[in-house]
Amino acid sequence: MNSAEITQTDKDLIWHPFTPLVNPFGHIPIKSAKGAKLFTHEGQTIIDAVSSWWVNIHGHANEQIADAIHKQALELEHVIFAGFTHEPAVRLAKNLMTILPDNYSKIFFSDNGSTSIEVALKMAFQYWYNQGKEHKTKIIALDGAYHGDTFGSMSVSERSGFTRPFFPFLFDIESLDFPTEENFDKVLAHFDELTNDEACAAFIFEPLVQGAGGMRMYSPEMLQQLISLAQSRGVICIADEVMTGWGRTGTTFACDQIEASPDITCISKGITGGALPLGITACNSKIEAAFQSEELSKALLHGHSYTGNPMICAAANASFEIFESPECKNNIQRVHNKHLKFVEQLKTFDKVENIRLQGTIVAFDLKGFGETGYDSDARKKIYPYFLERGVLIRPLGNVIYLLPPYVITDDELDLVYETLLEFLRNE
């Protein structure tokens, strides 16, 4: 089927995510992709400056990952993961253990970032339940958090337009103000009070960068103090590294930039290089110990039909090999260095404020474009402007950010930068 054969009626059969059914932008049929580029049926080239929702780290149509999937599909495409295991899953677990904290001991497979959060929450709640401490039910989360779209992950996210229809069905949490240099003493005092509550079960956070919340960033020193205080009182710390993992913040995981280690880490997005969906919830031996029993009632009773899919694990193992290569590490540093120079250019514009950079993520706020958020009118102007010029950018309201695949070339990055600067000059 070519572009001419894809009619508007055909397109209307699909219900797209985070998109009104009456969509002012339409949906562009993509024929193929390679590296950092998307190719339409009409012959347009679009630079994927947001890694297709932050998942693609090694470029589109990566041959090493594709070959691994193909080879695995011909050998074992899937098998029920309750009662069976297989080499790709074992190898992936061993690979992950080489980059997770030393005291980590278990890997739980699921399907995506949201489900990795669900598993983490169930682990935390049942950790206390298995020890007869059923009163431990309170969760602390940061204001502005976004942890996913399933009911547990929505519950620990900020109450917003994303979740408003579901408010009656979400469980209550304790919200902690987003930490800044100006308010941190107050935040820490409030956190001290919250963690001192005997009912406090866990603290969940996006380390260093809140993604959907507007690419808001806070310092490793602040995170270190929060985790240290929580763990001193036995509160379970859950790191949502779904977006921040796999080098996005300059280190393999954002929590690698602090001394303390979370008790549970949620991983997804870049784990397969953007090829296939996979969620991982990893935990330390402390969490595991509460589940060490032959009793079914003390097992973590969670699973999906495609848990531990061999083809997905094969893709993740191939992505891991690429990620660990010197070439990938050099690319991460190269993109960061390019962003550093771009930041200096951004500083010359009065309409730009709150410029921030962490690893391969660069973001800034636009004055006069309203507030942060997907429902902001700013997107109606910014999104099509860049798409018409061959650059995929999905602004978060008045926040523009770049989060490209690591394989993006210097020329491609320069084109993205120049398109952004042209936009700023004409505003």
Decide if pLDDT at 370 tops 80.
Answer: no
Average pLDDT, the chain: 95
Specify whether 29 is located in the same domain as 70.
no
Burial track 59-76 (b if 16+ CB lie within 10 A, e otherwise)? bbebeebeebbeebeeee
Distance CA 11, CA 8 (A): 5
For residues 201 and 236, give the distance between their C-alpha atoms in angstroms, rounded to a whole number.
6
User: Could you tell me if 243 and 101 lie in one domain?
Assistant: yes
Identify the residue with better confidence: 162 or 267: 267
Which sign does the torsion angle of CA 228, 230, 233, 239 carry?
Answer: negative
User: Is the per-residue pLDDT at 97 higher than 80?
Assistant: yes
214 annotated ligand binder: no
CATH of the domain at 363: 3.90.1150.10
Domain final residue, candidates 295, 323, 351: 323
What span, in angstroms and rounded, lies between the C-alpha atoms of 407 and 304? 33
Residues 70 and 178 in one domain: yes
Going by pLDDT thresholds of 50, 70 and 90, the confidence category of residue 346 is: very high
Same domain, 319 and 333: no
Residues 220 and 337 in one domain: no
Q: What is the pLDDT of residue 411?
A: 98
Q: Taking Cα atoms as reference points, which of 292, 288, 260, 276 lies closest to residue 62?
A: 276
- The count of structural domains within the chain is 2
Domain containing 209: what range?
63-323
Mean per-residue pLDDT, 201-227:
98
pLDDT cut 90: percent of the chain above it: 91
Residue 2 confidence (pLDDT): 60
Using an 8 Å Cβ cutoff, are 424 and 345 in contact? Answer: no
Residues 278 and 177 in one domain: yes
Mean pLDDT of 360-370: 92
Question: What 8-state DSSP symbol labels residue 29?
Answer: P
Question: Are 182 and 112 in a shared domain?
Answer: yes
Predicted confidence at residue 41, as pLDDT, reads 92
Q: Which CATH number do you get for residue 86?
A: 3.40.640.10
Please tell me whether 113 is known to bind a ligand. yes
What is each CA distance from 40 to 32, 33, 58, in whole angstroms? 7, 9, 20
The domain boundary, picked from 275, 293, 323, lies at 323
Q: Is the pLDDT of residue 6 over 80?
A: no
**Predicted confidence band of residue 12 (pLDDT cuts 50, 70, 90):** confident
- How much is the pLDDT for 42? 92
Judge if 331 and 348 occupy the same domain: yes
Q: Is the pLDDT of residue 1 over 60?
A: no
pLDDT in tens, 290-304: 999 999 999 999 999
Instruction: Tell me the mean pLDDT in the region 242-259.
Output: 98
Instruction: Find out whether 269 is annotated in a ligand binding site.
Output: yes
Confirm or deny that 70 is annotated as ligand binding: no
| Bridge partners for 267 per DSSP | 280
Residues 265 and 318 in one domain: yes
Residues 408 and 292 in one domain: no
Band (pLDDT 50/70/90 cuts) for residue 138 is: very high
Chain centroid to CA 65: 20
The string of DSSP codes covering 135-190 is T--EEEEETT----SSHHHHHTSPPSTTTGGGGGGSPP-EEEPPP-TTTHHHHHHH
Q: How would residue 227 be classed by pLDDT, with cut points 50, 70 and 90?
A: very high
User: Same structural domain for residues 200 and 314?
Assistant: yes
**Integer Cα distance of 153 and 319 in angstroms:** 26
pTM: 0.96
DSSP code, position 235: -
Annotated binding residue 359:
no
DSSP 3-state of 201: strand
15 annotated to bind ligand: no
Q: Do 263 and 299 share a domain, yes or no?
A: yes
pLDDT at 22: 86
Given 303, 323, 343, the domain boundary residue is 323
DSSP character at residue 25: S
Residue 401 annotated as binding? no
- 48 labelled as ligand-binding? no
Averaged pLDDT for residues 100-114? 98
Distances (CA, A) of 192 to 176, 240, 420: 11, 21, 43
| pLDDT at residue 4 is higher than 70 | no
